[in-house]
């Protein structure tokens, strides 16, 4: 187990390549970074710079090819698939394709992520799911199916699903892109509360200047290279 002060995400000289042979193309160059418990870190950068690739590596959705990448103290470079699958249970993913199940209502979609937690009764799971839907402003939509919801509403269901189990790690790829100003703020503030209260690490890819103030730090990806930037530089 990790102690309260160990980094939750620790990245050391990670490089990544797509393709092989003559088509092999490097997309990440010796990326190093860490995210500590309770921190909200925003990752910015132009399209194609490697943000999503880095997020999928941290999220144990791809294997680390080069360098060291530790999540909750566990090394993912050369990790076995079984270990990656187990690590994924600690992660709340909010990716652009929200992948809600059409056969389930909003509440059931959210509740799904609590099914990995056998110590909760089904009544408790239901209550928590409804509370989370309320937090994203969708309590009245709990019994609706995805095809009855707008794009922004579906995105908020996906956010509720990712956060309902209070994961130690939240990885969000442009979570506010489909949301209006107020809903966008609401969801990042929920993530910030989770970080503060549970000591979770939140890593957020965004182009949205309106939410930069929730970040403890801002990282910038450019052509596969990562650097730290000051908030003032981004807003100016």
Positions in the binding site for ligand ADP (CB under 6 A):
18-19, 27, 45, 47-53
Question: Helix or strand or coil: residue 47?
Answer: coil
Q: Where are the beta strands (DSSP E) in 36-184?
A: 40-44, 66-71, 74-75, 91-94, 169-173
Number of helices (H), then strands (E), belonging to the chain: the values are 7, 10
Residue 27 Cβ vs ligand ADP, minimum distance, rounded to whole Å: 4
- The DSSP bridge pattern shows strands 91-94 and 169-173 to be parallel
By beta-carbon proximity to ligand ADP, the closer residue of 55 and 138 is 55
* Closest residue to Mg ion using C-beta atoms: 52
> In terms of CB distance, is 18 or 150 closer to ligand ADP?
18
* φ/ψ (deg, to 5) at 121: -75, 165
Cβ-based nearer residue to ligand ADP, 61 or 149: 61
Nearest partner of 149 among 161, 137, 157, judged by Cα? 157
Cα–Cα distance between 178 and 11 in angstroms, integer? Answer: 30
Binding residues (CB under 5 A) for Mg ion: these are: 51-52
Query: 43 or 142: whose CB is closer to Mg ion?
Result: 43
Give the one entry of Mg ion, ligand ADP, none that residue 48 binds, where binding means its C-beta sits below a cut-off of 5 to 8 angstroms depending on kind.
Answer: ligand ADP
Q: Which residue has the tokens 């092989």?
A: 20
Residue with smaller CB distance to Mg ion, 18 or 116: 18
Start-to-end C-alpha separation, the chain: 42
Q: How far is the CB of 69 from ligand ADP (least distance, A)?
A: 15
Exposed/middle/buried for residue 195 (C-beta within 10 Å: 0-12, 13-18, 19+)? buried
Q: Which of ligand ADP, Mg ion, none has residue 53 at its interface (CB below 5 to 8 Å by kind)? A: ligand ADP
């Amino acid at each position: 187990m990790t102690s309260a002060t160990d980094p939750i995400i620790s990245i050391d000289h990670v490089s990544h390549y797509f393709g092989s042979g003559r088509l092999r193309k490097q997309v990440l160059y010796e990326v190093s970074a860490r995210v500590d418990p309770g921190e909200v870190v925003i990752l910015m950068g132009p399209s194609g710079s490697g943000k999503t690739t880095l997020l999928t590596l941290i999220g144990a959705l791809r294997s680390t090819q080069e360098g060291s990448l530790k999540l909750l103290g566990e090394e993912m470079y050369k990790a076995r698939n079984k270990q990656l699958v187990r690590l994924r249970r600690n992660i709340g993913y909010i990716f652009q394709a929200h992948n809600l199940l059409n056969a389930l209502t909003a509440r059931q979609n959210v509740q799904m992520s609590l099914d990995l937690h056998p110590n909760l009764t089904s009544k408790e799971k239901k209550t928590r799911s409804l509370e989370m839907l309320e937090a994203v402003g969708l309590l009245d939509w709990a019994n609706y199916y995805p095809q009855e919801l707008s794009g922004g509403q579906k995105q908020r269901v996906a956010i509720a699903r990712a956060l309902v189990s209070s994961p130690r790690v939240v990885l969000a790829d442009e979570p506010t892109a489909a949301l209006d100003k107020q809903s966008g703020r609401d969801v990042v503030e929920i993530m910030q509360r989770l970080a503060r209260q549970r000591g979770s690490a939140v890593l957020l890819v965004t182009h949205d200047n309106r939410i930069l103030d929730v970040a403890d730090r801002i990282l910038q990806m450019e052509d596969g290279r990562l650097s730290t930037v000051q908030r003032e530089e981004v807003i100016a």
